[in-house]
């Protein structure tokens, strides 16, 4: 555990990718095989199930420290992270609690935690207290993060893949594929995983996704338009549809097996040939015949379907049991982008043009309203593509994807062959009304904000935002909050409604859960409007007008 906690601290404090890569490479060279498997699992999103809740940790720490509840709560609000608060408050050493055995491995602690699921609270408490007694402060912090499910470190999966490739001598693309899919770190051996023999079922194993960078240069810098394929960028869940053996599997980009969430996809099993893997978008779809532009002229690449907003998709993906009502109200379709496997053969190394031709033939031979081909946008000049992009929001699209026609399907985020060219976000001016302290390195600053718009002589809250300001601006706002607080509700402060900010967001949808009646998609602060006062902010009427124009 000590070796892992040292690694976690190095990764959490380093800002350079090469330093993180070297730290991981060193860990894989030194750690036990069982621990290596757990590290791969943790950094690829396979976190263990929570068997001890935060309230229990809170109470056990209070008992050990003897702190009154109000002081523990104040400490937590100051630190901003429960796992770190407990690690800081626990005395060293903890005497008389017994030892689980000095120097236990990461795998030991995680497997023991997993086995506590059905145990009585007294058994869970005894184990956690013994672990705290055996650990230094750094180890306790990491251990607590693993318990609470809050273990997140700013490291890409590609960096982990690259470190494993160096350690194993295999190609990074091969390693990425082998550690994908549905596998259990409790029963999977490190050697089997890296050799491709232990990464879950071969039938269900997905391919790593190819990701695009945002286009920041002029279109002309890409070269000749004829060398590129343009498609719409949809706001759903990137996924893979896998038809192998006698089954069909659905994976999200986050490597979550989501087959059970979309029962309508089972109809594709009899339509797609065995040995087929499609890359595409999981998204709410309804039958349609394209939508006219504002001037009545057709938008390029008319659509045979209508895209539902992401908010509609959320009503489906969060449910364990999907009813007939959900199936009828939010039918979830699959817009196919690419062909990764055909007749059981890996097609990723073939040119996009070849993959596209076969994809078109596959979808045409599998007629189903919920299985759609991603439309290619016809254009001969970059100016035409710019015009098409201007109509993206009316189609329910986030913008345009640009793909070089000769490109292979690569692994991870790469520059050069695939670009995403998103439309400009929607914006609205609002006033800050509530503030709360952040977490981690921002735990001593008020950085979590709630904003409001005007409704007559009232202010109506409509969104929260946590990002978009510089460190200097955060310090300025924090100073304002501390000097201009009106009321305090636990960690939340009501502040004088004087600071105006421009809030940017990707989409808007109706919401019965919010007083304003709307919910925003990816809200963030785009700029501090020091040139405006609270009387100049936007209105609730204006916000609802945006819902009429851009909501679904």
pLDDT at residue 101 above 50? Answer: no
> Measuring CA to CA, which residue among 355, 415, 418, 412 is closest to residue 208?
412
The DSSP H or E segment spanning 542 is helix 540-550
Round to whole Å and give the CA distance between 333 and 330. 9
Q: Which of 179-183, 227-231, 469-473, 509-513 shows the highest mean pLDDT?
A: 227-231
CATH for 210-422? 3.30.470.30
Instruction: Specify whether the CB–CB gap between 540 and 455 falls below 8 A.
Output: yes
Q: How confident is the model at residue 193 (pLDDT cuts 50, 70, 90)?
A: confident
Helix (H, G, I), strand (E, B), or coil: what is residue 204?
Answer: coil
Tell me which of 102 and 463 has the higher pLDDT.
Answer: 463
Q: How confident is the model at residue 204 (pLDDT cuts 50, 70, 90)?
A: confident
Report domain extents, the chain: 2-148, 210-422, 426-550
Residues sharing a CB contact under 8 Å with residue 456, sequence separation 6 or more, in sequence order: none
Helix (H, G, I), strand (E, B), or coil: what is residue 282?
Answer: strand
Tell me which of 320 and 464 has the higher pLDDT.
Answer: 464
Q: How confident is the model at residue 440 (pLDDT cuts 50, 70, 90)?
A: low
Q: How confident is the model at residue 289 (pLDDT cuts 50, 70, 90)?
A: very low
pLDDT at residue 308 above 50? Answer: yes
Round to whole Å and give the CA distance between 43 and 159. 10
Round to whole Å and give the CA distance between 373 and 280. 9
> Measuring CA to CA, which residue among 294, 297, 453, 277 is closest to residue 348?
277
Tally of CB atoms within 10 A around 197 = 12
> Measuring CA to CA, which residue among 127, 171, 161, 129 is closest to residue 44?
161
Helix (H, G, I), strand (E, B), or coil: what is residue 539?
Answer: strand
pLDDT of residue 11: 86
The DSSP H or E segment spanning 492 is strand 492-495
Neighbour-count burial of 324, counting CB atoms closer than 10 A to its CB (0-12 exposed, 13-18 middle, 19+ buried) = exposed
CATH for 426-550? 2.40.50.140
Q: 3-state SS of 21-85?
A: HHHHHHHHHHCCHHHHHHHHHHHCCCCCCCCCCHHHHHHHHHHHHCCCHHHHHHHHHHHCCHHHH
Instruction: Specify whether the CB–CB gap between 166 and 181 falls below 8 A.
Output: no
- What mean pLDDT comes out for the span 131-147? 89
Task: Point out the least confidently predicted range of 217-226, 469-478, 505-514.
Answer: 505-514
Round to whole Å and give the CA distance between 228 and 378. 10
DSSP label at 31? S
DSSP label at 16? -
pLDDT at residue 97 above 60? Answer: no
Q: What is the pLDDT of residues 26-43, one digit of tens each?
A: 998 888 999 999 998 888
371-373/332-342 β-pairing: parallel
Q: How confident is the model at residue 95 (pLDDT cuts 50, 70, 90)?
A: low
Round to whole Å and give the CA distance between 33 and 30. 9
Q: How confident is the model at residue 201 (pLDDT cuts 50, 70, 90)?
A: low
pLDDT of residue 295: 38
pLDDT of residue 188: 86
- What mean pLDDT comes out for the span 185-206? 79
pTM: 0.75
Round to whole Å and give the CA distance between 498 and 500. 6
**With left for phi above 0 and alpha for psi between -120 and 50, is residue 547 left, alpha or beta?**
alpha
The DSSP H or E segment spanning 525 is strand 524-528
Round to whole Å and give the CA distance between 50 and 260. 22
Task: Point out the least confidently predicted range of 135-149, 214-228, 265-279.
Answer: 135-149
Q: What is the pLDDT of residues 317-353, one digit of tens each?
A: 777 677 888 888 888 999 999 999 999 999 999 999 9
Round to whole Å and give the CA distance between 3 and 107. 12
Q: Assess whether the previous peptide bond of 14 is cis (omega < 30° from 0).
A: no
Q: Which of 178-192, 272-286, 510-524 shows the highest mean pLDDT?
A: 272-286
φ and ψ of 509, to 5 deg: -145, 155
- What mean pLDDT comes out for the span 532-547? 93
DSSP 347-385: -TTS-HHHHHHHHHHHHHTS-BTTEEEPPBPP-SSHHHH
- The number of angstroms, rounded, from the C-alpha of 87 to the middle of its chain's C-alpha atoms is 28
Q: How confident is the model at residue 57 (pLDDT cuts 50, 70, 90)?
A: very high
Instruction: Specify whether the CB–CB gap between 238 and 281 falls below 8 A.
Output: yes
φ and ψ of 9, to 5 deg: -65, -40
Task: Provide the token pair at 123.
Answer: 């058994």
- What mean pLDDT comes out for the span 57-66? 92
Task: Report the residue count for the chain.
Answer: 552
Tally of CB atoms within 10 A around 401 = 22
Q: What is the pLDDT of residues 223-274, one digit of tens each?
A: 999 999 999 999 899 999 999 999 999 999 887 888 988 999 999 999 999 9
Q: Which of 32-41, 275-284, 504-513 shows the highest mean pLDDT?
A: 275-284
Q: How confident is the model at residue 294 (pLDDT cuts 50, 70, 90)?
A: very low
Task: Point out the least confidently predicted range of 230-234, 305-309, 457-461, 474-478.
Answer: 305-309
pLDDT at residue 446 above 60? Answer: yes
> Measuring CA to CA, which residue among 93, 59, 91, 51 is closest to residue 76?
59
pLDDT at residue 16 above 50? Answer: yes
208-232 in b/e form (b: 16+ CB < 10 A) is bbbebeebeeebeebeebeebbbbb
pLDDT at residue 391 above 70? Answer: yes
pLDDT of residue 94: 63
Which superfamily is assigned to 2-148 in CATH? DNA ligase, ATP-dependent, N-terminal domain (1.10.3260.10)
Neighbour-count burial of 490, counting CB atoms closer than 10 A to its CB (0-12 exposed, 13-18 middle, 19+ buried) = exposed
Mean pLDDT of the chain: 87
């Amino acid at each position: 555990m000590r070796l892992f906690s040292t690694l976690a601290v190095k990764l959490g404090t380093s800002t350079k990718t090469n330093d993180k890569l070297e730290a991981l490479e060193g860990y894989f060279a030194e750690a036990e095989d069982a621990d290596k498997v757990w590290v791969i699992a943790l950094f690829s999103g396979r976190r263990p199930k929570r068997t001890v809740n935060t309230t229990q940790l809170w109470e056990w720490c209070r008992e050990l420290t003897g702190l009154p509840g109000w002081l523990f709560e104040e400490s937590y609000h100051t630190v901003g992270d429960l796992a770190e608060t407990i690690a800081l408050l626990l005395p060293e050493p903890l005497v008389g609690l017994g030892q689980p055995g000095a120097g236990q491995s990461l795998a030991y602690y995680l497997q023991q935690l997993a086995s506590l699921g059905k145990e009585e609270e007294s058994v869970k408490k005894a184990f956690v207290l013994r672990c705290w007694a055996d650990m230094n402060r750094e180890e306790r912090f990491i251990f607590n993060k693993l318990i609470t499910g809050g273990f997140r470190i700013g490291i890409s999966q590609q960096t982990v893949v690259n470190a494993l490739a160096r350690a194993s001598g295999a190609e990074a693309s091969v390693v990425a594929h082998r550690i994908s899919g549905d596998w259990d770190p409790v029963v999977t051996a490190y050697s089997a995983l890296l050799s491709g023999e232990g990464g879950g079922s071969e039938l269900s194993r997905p391919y790593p996704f190819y990701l695009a960078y945002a286009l920041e240069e002029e279109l002309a810098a890409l070269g000749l338009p004829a060398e590129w394929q343009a498609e719409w960028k949809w706001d759903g869940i990137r996924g893979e549809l896998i038809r192998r053996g006698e089954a069909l599997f659905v994976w999200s980009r986050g490597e979550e097996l989501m087959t059970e969430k979309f029962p309508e996809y089972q109809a594709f099993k009899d339509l797609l040939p065995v040995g087929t893997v499609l890359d595409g978008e999981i998204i709410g779809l309804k039958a349609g015949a394209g939508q006219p532009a504002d001037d009545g002229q057709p938008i390029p690449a008319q659509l045979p379907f209508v895209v539902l907003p992401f908010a509609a998709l959320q009503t489906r993906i969060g449910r364990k049991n999907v009813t007939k009502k959900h199936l009828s109200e939010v039918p979830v379709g699959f817009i196919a982008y690419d062909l990764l496997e055909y007749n059981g053969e890996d097609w990723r190394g073939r040119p996009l043009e070849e993959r596209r031709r076969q994809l078109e033939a596959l979808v045409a031979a599998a007629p189903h309203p919920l299985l759609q081909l991603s439309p290619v946008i016809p254009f001969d000049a970059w100016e035409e593509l710019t015009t098409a992009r201007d109509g993206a929001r009316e189609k329910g699209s986030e913008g345009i994807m640009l793909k070089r026609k000769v490109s292979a399907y690569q692994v991870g985020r790469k520059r050069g062959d695939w670009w995403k060219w998103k439309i400009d976000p929607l914006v609205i001016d609002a006033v800050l009304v509530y503030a709360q302290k952040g977490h981690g390195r921002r735990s001593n600053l008020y950085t979590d904000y709630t904003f409001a718009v005007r409704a007559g002589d009232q202010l109506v809250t409509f969104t929260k935002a946590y990002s978009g300001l510089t460190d200097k601006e955060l310090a300025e706002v924090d100073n304002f909050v501390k000097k201009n607080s009106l009321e305090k509700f636990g960690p939340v402060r009501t502040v004088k409604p004087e600071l105006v900010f421009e809030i940017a967001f990707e989409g808007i949808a109706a919401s019965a859960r919010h007083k304003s009646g709307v919910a925003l998609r990816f809200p963030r602060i785009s700029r501090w409007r020091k040139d405006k006062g609270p009387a100049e902010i936007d209105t609730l009427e204006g916000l609802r007008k945006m819902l009429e124009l851009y909501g679904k």
